């Protein structure tokens, strides 16, 4: 991964911008989860309501700590054995988790990625970032940078070059407390 591109993408995130970047299966939209305006911009361009919440992706567990309230050692272990990897887990959220991240829930969906670009981006940014598929809500997720640009054009502040991780569909989502699959 080109360090100049990582530096630029992280700078845009810190400035409140929205980026497109490759993830495990599809292209994602990213923003600083603590920046309400940036997250609301993501929701607006996706034409998605805030109440569904947003997934966060990180390069390590410490980056998720401000958002995740671990209900038990078993719940954490259930998720941790699948990370880093293409597995998103829903945990109770901390009192500090912004409502634009948790939506109309008392939980938050999180993932520690194994995707090299995602991990490098989170490390360079210094924390977890929003990771929602790069598509308007009625359209299929972008599978390339070109498709992300076609969907969003000037609404994107930066497009981080790279390739997806080769998965054929978005990551599964599971409940950390029970292990139940919420999305295949």
**Mean pLDDT of the 20-47 span:** 97
**Mean pLDDT of the 100-109 span:** 97
**Mean pLDDT of the 32-45 span:** 98
Query: Residue 96: left if φ>0, alpha if ψ -120 to 50, beta else—which one?
Result: alpha
Which band of pLDDT confidence, cut at 50, 70 and 90, is reported for residue 70? very high
Reading the block at residue 22, the tokens are 């490759």
Can you list the alpha helix ranges (DSSP code H) found in 15-110?
36-46, 61-64, 73-80, 99-102
d(CA 167, CA 89): 18
Residue 20's pLDDT is what?
98
d(CA 29, CA 43): 10
d(CA 66, CA 171): 22
Query: At residue 23, does pLDDT exceed 90?
Result: yes
52: three-class secondary structure by DSSP: helix
């Amino acid at each position: 991964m080109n360090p100049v591109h990582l530096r630029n993408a992280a700078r845009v995130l810190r400035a409140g911008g929205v980026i497109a970047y490759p993830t495990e299966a599809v292209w994602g939209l990213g923003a600083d989860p603590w920046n309400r305006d940036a997250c609301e911009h993501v929701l607006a361009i996706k034409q998605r309501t805030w109440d569904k919440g947003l997934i966060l992706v990180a390069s390590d567990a410490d980056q998720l700590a401000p958002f995740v309230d671990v209900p038990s050692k078993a719940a954490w272990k259930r998720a941790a054995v699948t990370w880093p990897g293409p597995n998103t887990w829903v945990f109770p959220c901390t009192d500090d988790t912004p409502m634009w991240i948790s939506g109309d829930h008392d939980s938050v969906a999180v993932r520690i990625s194994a995707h090299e670009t995602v991990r490098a981006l989170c490390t360079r940014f210094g924390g977890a970032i929003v990771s929602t598929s790069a598509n308007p809500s009625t359209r299929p997720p972008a599978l390339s940078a070109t498709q992300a640009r076609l969907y969003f054009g000037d609404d994107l502040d930066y497009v981080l070059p790279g390739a997806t991780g080769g998965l054929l569909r978005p990551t599964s989502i599971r409940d950390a407390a029970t292990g139940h699959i919420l999305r295949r």
